[in-house]
C-alpha cells in the first residue's frame, strides 16, 4: 500500500514517554523505556522486533494487566483523550473489551475444552452487557460467521475445530463488544501457513468492512507487510524506527531494521539471508549509548556514548545518528 492511501483518521491511541520496568530480585528490567507512538482511527499498525524487546509488555500496559513486578514508571497513554494509565480498577474493567480488546499470544489454546464454543461466546457477551440470552446468541452467531466459520459449527467443542478456526474464534471473541481498538499479540505464530493465510485474510476483510484499528504484534515481518499501514520496530525497550509499511521495507533507515528485513527469506526472495550477529542486551544492564551499538555495522564513537533520539522526518521516525549516511 502506498503511504498516500493511509487512512487519515484522528489519533485513537496516543502513547507518550511510556516506561515500564520489572522489579525483580536480580535488578530492574527496563522492558519499555520511553516510547511514543500513535494509532489512528481505522489504522492497522504493526509492532515488531526480536524476542524480549518489550512488545507484549507494551500491550499489557495498555490493558493494565501487567504482573505485580511490572511497574509503569512514567508516561501517558491517551485513548480518545482519556488517560488509560490513570484509570481506576472499576473504570478499567469497563474499559477492557469495550474500548480495547486483546488476542493473546497462544490464545487459541485458552478456549475452555468442556464448553461448546457458542456458549463461551454468549457468556462473554452477557458478562459485559445485560440482554436476553437469545439476543446474545444471535450476536455470537453473526460474529462467528464474520470470521468465516459456518453457523452450524458453532455448537462444536474446541477440540472439534482446527487450529485456524480456534484462532479465528479468539479474534471473534475480541470483537464481541465492537471495541475501536484490538491488539493482537502474535496472532499467527505457531500456525501453519494455510491457517496463517486465513487469519491474514480475515484481517484484510475486517479492514475493508469495519472502522476497526488494529495493533498487530509479531516477529513475522511478512504478516505486517500484508496487513499494516505503518510499522513500528522496537529494540531493547525502545522504538528504533517507524514508517509507513512500504517505506519501511523499501527504505529502512535504522541498521537494526535493515538487518531484520534482510534476515527474512520470504521478503527477499532471491537475495541471501543475513543473520543478525549476537543477542539483544540484558535489559537490567543495557549498554551505554545506543542499545544496538554492540551489534551494529555502522557504529561510531558517538553511538557508544549517547542514546540517539527518535527523529521524525515526514512521518518516518528513526533513532540513529547515521540515518542519512547509511
Ligand atoms: N514478569 C517479568 N519479570 C521480569 N522480566 C520480565 C517479565 N516479563 C517480561 N520480562 C522481560 O521484559 C522484557 C520484555 O519482555 P516482553 O515479553 O515484553 O517482550 P516481547 O517483545 O513480547 O518478546 P517475545 O517476542 O518473546 O514475545 C524481556 O527482557 C523479558 O525478559
Ligand atoms: Mg511477546
Q: Are 188 and 228 in contact (CB under 8 A)?
A: no
In whole angstroms, give the CA distance from residue 104 to residue 308.
32
In whole angstroms, give the CA distance from residue 215 to residue 39.
8
For a mutational test of ligand 1's pocket, the pick from 19, 26, 27, 31, i.e. the residue with the most ligand atoms closer than 8 A to its C-beta, is 31
* Eight-class DSSP state of 69: T
Among 197, 198, 229, CA closest to 216: 229
User: Which residue has the CA at smallest separation from atom 6 of ligand 1?
Assistant: 22
Atom of ligand 1 nearest to the CA of 53: 21
**Cα dihedral 52, 57, 252, 287 sign:** negative
Residue 232 backbone phi and psi in degrees, to 5? -110, 130
Regarding the beta carbon of 54 and ligand 1, being less than 6 Å apart is answered yes
Q: What's residue 273's pLDDT?
A: 67
Q: What's residue 271's pLDDT?
A: 61
In whole angstroms, give the CA distance from residue 182 to residue 269.
31
Among 42, 13, 95, 50, CA closest to 219: 50
Those residues of the chain that have pLDDT short of 70 are 1-8, 265-273
Q: Cell numbers 459456518 correspond to what residue?
A: 150
Helix (H) or strand (E) holding 282: none
User: Which residue has the CA at smallest separation from atom 14 of ligand 1?
Assistant: 54
Q: What's residue 2's pLDDT?
A: 34
Atom of ligand 1 nearest to the CA of 280: 29
Q: How far away, in angstroms, is 284 Cα from ligand 2 center?
A: 18
Tally of residues, the chain: 326
Q: Tell whether domain 3-88+180-318 is in CATH 3.40.50.300.
A: yes
Q: What's residue 266's pLDDT?
A: 58
> How is the chain split into domains, by residue range?
3-88+180-318, 107-178
Q: What's residue 90's pLDDT?
A: 87
Q: What's residue 7's pLDDT?
A: 47
Q: Are 67 and 33 in contact (CB under 8 A)?
A: no
Q: What is the dihedral of CA 67, 69, 70, 71, to 10 degrees?
A: 130
Dmax over CA atoms of the chain, in Å, equals 67
Q: How far away, in angstroms, is 215 Cα from ligand 2 center?
A: 13
For a mutational test of ligand 1's pocket, the pick from 57, 73, 217, i.e. the residue with the most ligand atoms closer than 8 A to its C-beta, is 57
**Direct distance between the N- and C-terminal alpha carbons of the chain, in angstroms, rounded to an integer:** 25
In whole angstroms, give the CA distance from residue 94 to residue 109.
25
pLDDT tens digits for range 204-231: 888 887 889 999 999 989 899 999 999 9
pLDDT tens digits for range 19-43: 999 999 999 999 999 999 999 999 9
Amino acid at each position: 500500500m502506498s503511504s498516500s492511501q493511509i487512512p487519515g483518521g484522528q489519533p485513537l491511541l496516543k502513547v507518550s514517554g511510556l516506561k515500564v520496568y520489572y522489579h525483580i530480585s536480580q535488578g530492574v528490567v527496563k522492558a519499555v523505556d520511553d516510547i511514543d507512538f500513535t494509532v489512528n482511527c481505522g489504522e492497522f499498525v504493526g509492532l515488531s522486533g526480536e524476542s524480549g524487546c518489550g512488545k507484549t509488555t507494551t500491550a499489557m500496559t495498555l490493558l493494565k494487566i501487567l504482573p505485580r513486578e511490572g511497574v509503569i514508571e512514567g508516561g501517558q497513554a491517551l485513548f480518545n483523550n482519556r488517560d488509560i494509565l490513570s484509570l481506576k480498577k472499576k473504570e478499567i474493567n469497563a474499559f477492557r473489551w469495550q474500548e480495547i480488546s486483546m488476542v493473546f499470544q497462544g490464545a487459541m489454546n485458552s478456549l475452555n475444552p468442556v464448553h461448546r464454543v457458542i456458549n463461551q461466546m454468549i457468556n462473554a457477551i452477557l458478562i459485559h452487557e445485560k440482554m436476553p440470552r437469545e439476543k446474545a446468541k444471535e450476536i455470537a452467531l453473526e460474529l462467528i460467521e464474520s470470521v468465516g466459520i459456518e453457523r452450524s459449527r458453532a455448537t462444536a467443542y474446541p477440540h472439534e475445530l482446527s487450529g485456524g478456526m480456534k484462532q479465528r474464534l479468539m479474534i471473534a471473541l475480541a470483537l464481541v463488544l465492537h471495541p475501536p481498538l484490538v491488539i493482537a499479540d502474535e496472532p499467527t505464530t505457531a500456525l501453519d501457513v494455510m491457517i496463517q493465510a486465513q487469519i491474514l485474510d480475515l484481517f484484510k476483510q475486517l479492514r475493508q468492512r469495519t472502522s476497526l484499528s488494529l495493533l498487530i504484534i509479531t516477529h513475522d515481518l511478512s504478516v505486517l507487510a500484508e496487513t499494516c499501514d505503518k510499522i513500528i520496530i522496537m529494540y531493547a525497550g525502545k522504538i528504533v524506527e517507524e514508517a509507513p509499511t512500504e517505506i519501511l521495507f523499501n527504505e529502512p533507515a535504522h541498521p537494526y531494521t535493515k538487518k531484520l528485513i534482510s534476515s527474512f527469506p520470504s521478503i527477499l526472495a532471491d537475495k541471501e539471508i543475513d543473520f543478525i550477529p549476537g543477542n539483544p542486551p540484558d535489559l537490567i544492564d543495557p549498554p551505554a549509548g545506543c542499545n544496538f551499538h554492540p551489534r551494529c555495522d555502522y557504529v561510531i564513537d558517538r553511538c557508544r556514548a549517547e542514546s540517539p533520539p527518535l527523529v521524525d522526518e515526514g512521518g518516518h521516525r528513526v533513532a540513529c545518528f547515521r540515518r542519512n549516511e547509511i
